[in-house]
Structure 1
Amino acid sequence: MALRAGQELGEVTVTARGPAYSSITPANVQVISARDLTKSACCNLAESFETNASVEVTTSDAVSGAKQIQLLGLDGSYSLLTVDNQPALRGLAAPYRLGYLAGPWIESIEIIKGTGSVVNGYEAISGQVNVKLKEPDKTDQLLFNIYGNDLGKLDVNLNASARINPKWSTVLLLHSDHLGNRVDRNDDKFLDLPLATQFNAFNKWKYISGTGLVSEVGLGALRETRQGGQVGFRDTGAADAYFQHYGTTQATTRYTGYAKTSYTWPTRPFQSLGLLLSGTDHDFTSAYSPAYSAVPATSPRTYDGTQRTGLATLLFQSVLGNTAHVYRAGLSFLYDDYREVFRQGYNDLTETPAQRYANEHRNRREQVPGAFAEYTYQNSRNLTFVAGLRADRHNLYGWQVTPRLNVKYDAAKNTVLRVAAGRGFRVANPIADNAAMLASARQFRIGNNLRPERAWNVGAAPRSTSRC
């Protein structure tokens, strides 16, 4: 029997959807993939959680449209938000941070319940949300979309990437949205949605040497304005506008930059050294129609703040004997400079000028050097154990020790048991954490010598990993 020439088949690509819950990681991690994000119109990070039951997104302030996440029932201030595994959008950015990351920029979102790893700092109490942005060497070369609706909302996004050569790649992420239509469908004389305009840009460069050296640099800039209140309110720039109609205005200018460099030993792929540097300049101004009080208001209620942050982390990872015993150790330094000015809009005649200045100005400078170590044991069968400890020397509040533990045990083929315990520590920003109250008639009285918040988080959870 003679052989006949065979027919060449075309390329076959097999794809599968990854599990929403990771059965590999010791911490309780849920992943929202890029495919999950296509289920809803994700114009920004806040809308990315609409189909997820683990994170609840609530509107904290209907006047300005600010939204926040709730994880394990706690306010979003107790959840650490990281971008590409670096702390970001914290402090004064917290009230409006869910609107600062555009949906088309996001590759995936990791939701970690519990305090997580000591490597990412000491501020996570209820959990961590890590947002992975598009990678220069993996994303589409061009993505452009425009979204509009009957309310007059317009959203424009442009992602452009280039592989310059086998070692260099870059991606440019652009976003703009605008709502200029005064919407009042229930005829209550108040805007249903705040007027808002945002311009947002981020540029990332990546270098892969091929011999163990990987470097990444990113720069970002944001400008956003918001206006809410009564339909008749017009921001003329004069104080009289806030007395004629009830209204609020907010403006944010933000610049960010980071550099990440890592080296992996070619003959020891389990051993690496990394240096992470990041900096942020955040400027925020706002004004509100004054609240009624016994003392007549002479000017709008205003809250302005600036935050300048620098973070440096040096991280070393290797093994003890074999890859079943992995350790990570490092040093970190956090610099936070806060300058806040809050004016009620009226003068308390019982206050002296010095008392008034002290009540209106809240300045704080934090310098926090720290060291951390984390040990991971994995027996390759059914047990993973991660224990971490970090110690930070806060210039205002002294030594802070943060222990954390995560244990995962595969009890059966499709059943995973997890136990997590850890401690968190954060310095509150009373006004920014309660920015939604500024739109009300409440009077603010902030005590002196406020202490930081400390909390323990302990939990256990079984989970079935079977899939149908």
Structure 2
Amino acid sequence: MFKIIFLAFSLLIWNIAYTQEVTTSGTITSNGEPLAFVNVYLKNTQIGASSNEAGYYILKGVPSGKYTLIASTLGYKTFSTVLNIHEKKDVLLDINLEPTTESLDEMVITGTLKPVSRLESPVPVEVYKPTFFKKNPTANIFEALQNVNGVRPQINCNVCNTGDIHINGLEGPYTLVLIDGMPIVSGLGTVYGLSGIPNSLIEQIEIVKGPASTLYGSEAVGGLINIITKNNLTAPEFFADSFMTDCGEYNLDIGTKVNFGKKTNTLLGVNYFRYDNPIDNNGDNFTDFTLQDRISIFQKWNFQRKDARIFSLAGRYFYEDRWGGELQWTPEFRGGDEIYGESIYTRRWEVLGKYQLPVEEQLLLSFSYNDHSQNSVYGDVPYLADQRIGFGQLTWDKSFAKHSMLFGTAIRYNYYDDSTPATSNANGNQPDEVIIPSFFVQDEIAFSSKNSLLLGARYDYDQRHGHIFTPRAAYRYKFTDNDILRLNAGTGFRVVNLFTEEHAALTGARDVIIAEELKPERSFNLNLNYLKKIYGDNGTFVGLDASIFYTNFQNVIIPDYETNPNQIIYDNLNGTSISQGVSANLDVAFSNGLKIILGGTYQDVSNTENGIRRRQLLTESFSGTWSLAYTLRPWDLIIDYTGNIYGPMRLPTLGENDPRNEFSPTWSIQNIQFTFTGLQGFEIYAGVKNLLDWTPNRGNPFIIARANDPFDKEVTFDVNGNAVATTNNPYGLTFDPTYVYGPNQGIRSFVGLRYTIN
């Protein structure tokens, strides 16, 4: 299938390449990244065009003569050069635009809650554009993050394939996910909320590694991911992206921009994903990949106001029907104990907005609200849950002399109710409901053009835990404009919130034991970051971003799977949990069209209790990511080779008799993609995912324990409730699908089409 597609694709390229008119063409980049929507024209003529999302531009039918070529876009210095055009001789001209001081491409907001140039920010912020994620197209943000160094999507269940995001080896509950700076995705939403965000409306994704609780409160302990949507200046008029794989996955992503008069415009994005082809390559009679039917609709309104004051509203509706389990499962078996299946109906809606008050001072009101409802069954165990989170924040941005101040107050409302003992007591059902008010202040002091110091502090009051104080400090020293050293120190906290699905419990294999009084988790973090950029005279660009990090946790809440294989015990760790390591990213872009991105992280994440130090479960000691892109300009062809590699992880086995490996092997997922950009407005792409055909079942007798008896009907238990070895259960195991550390999908080909109207 793939060979036929690739052959036809190559013939198409060959034909177009040799039937072109005399042209001037090339790729427009900055810092090695392609720039879209750059205006390119020949001065004093009607010949012009704009670059596509790959940075490629083409001027066709240029007569012989001498011209001045101009390339310009907002946030970059205008490029100008003289061209001598000769008949029947194409001109290949690559353009590197130099960012201006106020370049929008370099602006970040996540580290300080204020728009600032990335080079000027005292807090290191990693920025990823849509072009980075297009190198390996995925159906959701969760999968797309697999090629970000130090960030790993962790699948938590072999059957339903839900998961969370790890940053520098820290578990998913320590990662806060924001949309336009608002804490929309948290709790159970972290499991499902990262699916269905239309890629067509994403402007960039900003990642901060390390505690950010001073600005963002609870959950931003290990780091945060801020998904920033496009505005009316950067969004295309229309965008469509659709791809399918040979195993039956289908994804459609559509976005459009509509103006209502001169002062109102709206962005609309729709994402639809469907997979309904049960596959069982490992032969355990369970689906290797969850079947899904998902739709997400996102709309954002922007209103122009006097003095360019901000006013925007956005909303998203999300619905998903997913199931996994035994191949014979159909909806009539839902909730029964005949055929095992995990069926999840999820409905959630979100609204968020920003409104700048009509006063002289810079006062910004931000707000968000989301409602998440879930109807699930795990075999014969129901899990019905409702979560509502409301958030409001008022900030005052004030500068004077050498001080750039930010004052803020916030209030957060959390409501959670489910059908498990987590929200019940002796008097019956008791939903978890709490209001947390907060106050914070931040002062960035510019001592000189070379060094600055940021100081911040936050106060929260939680009626369950009392007063919580979180300070932080960040120092930046700029040797040159492209040579910067940053030192960050801060604290983080996470209040008790067990609103995460523990699949080992929900399958009925384990009981949940919760300590009577769980204390809030606290952390202290140090991060030393060095950023270096080198611009070569021949258009070559080299960027280095390296960090040393250390985080010490107190009162960390870790689910204990090992004390009793039939229980999950929640309690505060009587000791410390430490995450430490080094991380580096290297970007290299050559003028010949070759671009290389390499990332590597070495980390040591461990828990020490009662003098015993143990490596944390499901945490790799090293990881690496890479992206190699090469543009064959005569063929209008881009080749992308992406991948990641992970070192061994300690896995949750079911005791000494479990024959599955205690540690995973070193494993890697690698992908290749070919993109043809020779048709105006279109991109045709095809490739292969998981080239090595790697799956977690390699080297293991099985992945899901007791897959042949998912309801434990043939398991014999002793008086203490422990499974005992018998003839048909020689290892003394119970059904358990939580032994998982990577995706079960093997090699598969894909083909897709993008269409853009700028």
Per the shorter chain, which TM-score range? 0.7 to 0.9
Corresponding position: 1:458 with 2:458: no
Cα pair distance change 1:48/1:239, threshold 3 Å: closer
User: What is the match of residue 386 of structure 1?
Assistant: 454
Pick one of 310, 313, 337 that aligns with 2:390.
310
Pick one of 326, 329, 332 that aligns with 1:230.
326
**How many Å separate the matches in 2 of 1:77 and 1:286?**
21
Q: Please report how far the alpha carbon of residue 429 of structure 1 lies from its aligned counterpart in structure 2 after TM superposition.
A: 3.1
Bigger drift between 48-57 and 69-78 goes to 48-57
**How many Å separate the matches in 2 of 1:430 and 1:247?**
24
Q: How does 1:118-137 map to 2 (within 5 A)?
A: 118-137=214-233
Give CA deviations for 1:307-366 in whole Å, capped at 9, x if unaligned.
11111111111112x3x311010211111111121279xxxxxxxx975x75xx452111
User: What is the match of residue 330 of structure 1?
Assistant: 408
Corresponding position: 1:285 with 2:375: yes
**How many Å separate the matches in 2 of 1:109 and 1:391?**
28
Corresponding position: 1:427 with 2:501: no
**How many Å separate the matches in 2 of 1:158 and 1:193?**
25
**How many Å separate the matches in 1 of 2:257 and 2:448?**
39
- What amino acid does structure 1 have at the position aligned with 2:420? F
**How many Å separate the matches in 2 of 1:86 and 1:162?**
24
Contact map agreement 1:212 1:264 (CA 8 A) in 2: no
**How many Å separate the matches in 1 of 2:491 and 2:310?**
33
**How many Å separate the matches in 1 of 2:170 and 2:335?**
37
**How many Å separate the matches in 2 of 1:317 and 1:342?**
44
| TM-align CA RMSD | 2.7
- What amino acid does structure 2 have at the position aligned with 1:205? W
User: What is the match of residue 364 of structure 2?
Assistant: 274
Cα pair distance change 1:380/1:236, threshold 3 Å: farther
**How many Å separate the matches in 2 of 1:114 and 1:264?**
35
Contact map agreement 2:184 2:369 (CA 8 A) in 1: no
Contact map agreement 1:45 1:101 (CA 8 A) in 2: yes
Partner of 2:512: helix, strand, or coil?
coil
Contact map agreement 2:176 2:220 (CA 8 A) in 1: yes
Q: How does 1:392-407 map to 2 (within 5 A)?
A: 392-407=460-475
Q: How does 1:365-380 map to 2 (within 5 A)?
A: 365-380=433-448
TM-score (norm: length of structure 1)? 0.85
- What amino acid does structure 2 have at the position aligned with 1:274? L
Give CA deviations for 1:154-179 in whole Å, capped at 9, x if unaligned.
11111011233442111011111111
Corresponding position: 1:257 with 2:257: no
- What amino acid does structure 2 have at the position aligned with 1:98? L
Corresponding position: 1:159 with 2:274: no
Partner of 1:50: helix, strand, or coil?
helix
Partner of 2:232: helix, strand, or coil?
coil
**How many Å separate the matches in 1 of 2:66 and 2:499?**
71
Contact map agreement 1:430 1:446 (CA 8 A) in 2: no
Cα pair distance change 1:459/1:237, threshold 3 Å: same
Partner of 1:119: helix, strand, or coil?
helix
Structure 2 unmatched ranges of 5 or more = 1-64, 73-78, 80-95, 99-104, 109-117, 535-540, 543-758
User: What is the match of residue 340 of structure 1?
Assistant: 418
**How many Å separate the matches in 2 of 1:65 and 1:97?**
14
Task: Answer with 1 or 2: which has the greater Rg.
Answer: 2
Cα pair distance change 1:386/1:10, threshold 3 Å: same
User: What is the match of residue 177 of structure 1?
Assistant: 273
Structure 1 unmatched ranges of 5 or more = 1-5, 290-299, 345-352
Partner of 1:211: helix, strand, or coil?
helix
Q: How does 1:3-402 map to 2 (within 5 A)?
A: 9=68, 11-13=70-72, 16=97, 22-116=118-212, 118-236=214-332, 239-240=335-336, 243-263=337-357, 271-289=361-379, 300-320=380-400, 322=401, 324-342=402-420, 355=426, 358=428, 361=429, 363-402=431-470
Bigger drift between 279-288 and 98-107 goes to 98-107
Partner of 2:331: helix, strand, or coil?
coil
User: What is the match of residue 292 of structure 1?
Assistant: none
User: What is the match of residue 293 of structure 1?
Assistant: none
**How many Å separate the matches in 2 of 1:117 and 1:382?**
27
Contact map agreement 1:335 1:365 (CA 8 A) in 2: yes
- What amino acid does structure 1 have at the position aligned with 2:419? V
- What amino acid does structure 2 have at the position aligned with 1:57? P
User: What is the match of residue 349 of structure 1?
Assistant: none
**How many Å separate the matches in 2 of 1:97 and 1:313?**
22
Q: Please report how far the alpha carbon of residue 376 of structure 1 lies from its aligned counterpart in structure 2 after TM superposition.
A: 0.6
**How many Å separate the matches in 2 of 1:305 and 1:115?**
29
Bigger drift between 15-24 and 144-153 goes to 15-24
User: What is the match of residue 347 of structure 1?
Assistant: none
Contact map agreement 1:63 1:439 (CA 8 A) in 2: no
Cα pair distance change 1:343/1:235, threshold 3 Å: farther
Give CA deviations for 1:166-225 in whole Å, capped at 9, x if unaligned.
421110111111111111223321101111111111111001224142200111111111
- What amino acid does structure 1 have at the position aligned with 2:404? V
**How many Å separate the matches in 1 of 2:163 and 2:327?**
21
Give CA deviations for 1:3-48 in whole Å, capped at 9, x if unaligned.
xxx9764543455496899433111211111221221103211122
Cα pair distance change 1:373/1:441, threshold 3 Å: same
- What amino acid does structure 1 have at the position aligned with 2:471? P
- What amino acid does structure 1 have at the position aligned with 2:526? V
- What amino acid does structure 2 have at the position aligned with 1:46? F
Q: Please report how far the alpha carbon of residue 433 of structure 1 lies from its aligned counterpart in structure 2 after TM superposition.
A: 5.4
- What amino acid does structure 2 have at the position aligned with 1:226? R
Contact map agreement 1:60 1:436 (CA 8 A) in 2: no
Partner of 1:157: helix, strand, or coil?
strand
User: What is the match of residue 295 of structure 1?
Assistant: none
Q: Please report how far the alpha carbon of residue 60 of structure 1 lies from its aligned counterpart in structure 2 after TM superposition.
A: 1.8
Give CA deviations for 1:296-315 in whole Å, capped at 9, x if unaligned.
xxxx1122211111111111
TM-score (norm: length of structure 2)? 0.54
- What amino acid does structure 2 have at the position aligned with 1:334? R
- What amino acid does structure 2 have at the position aligned with 1:327? M
